[in-house]
């Protein structure tokens, strides 16, 4: 049974077992931050936790790799 998380105030539907990154990608969100230098868009890149392109804040814990954090009902995710 699906559930919802909140991403920057927007509700995103999640399939149980999905990572935050997978849920964002399934919702059509392909980038959610930019690089410090040049402002290039970033989102999922490797998808396995090797890089740091998909960083988000989950429930107040910053610098979480979205591809590694399993989405849980009611999670609050911020991308800035």
d(Cα 71, Cα 17) in Å, to the nearest integer? 7
User: Taking the CB of residue 73, how many other CB atoms lie within 10 A of it?
Assistant: 11
State residue 32 phi and psi, 5-degree precision: -140, 10
What pLDDT, on the 0 to 100 scale, is given for residue 6?
98
Q: What is the DSSP letter of 23?
A: H
The first and second tokens of residue 60, run together, are 């107040």
Question: Which pLDDT value is given to residue 10?
Answer: 96
pLDDT along the chain (80 residues), means of 10: 97 98 96 92 93 96 97 95
Is the pTM for the entire model greater than 0.75? yes
Q: Does domain 3-78 have CATH number 3.40.190.10?
A: no
Q: What's the confidence (pLDDT) of residue 42? A: 93
């Amino acid at each position: 049974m699906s559930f919802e998380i909140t991403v920057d105030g927007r509700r995103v539907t999640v399939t149980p077992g999905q990572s935050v990154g997978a849920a964002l990608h399934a919702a059509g969100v392909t980038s959610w931050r930019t690089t410090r230098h040049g402002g290039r868009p970033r989102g999922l890149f490797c998808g396995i936790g090797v890089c740091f392109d998909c960083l988000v804040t989950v429930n107040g814990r910053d610098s979480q790799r979205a591809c590694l954090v399993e989405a849980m009902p009611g999670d609050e995710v911020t991308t800035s």
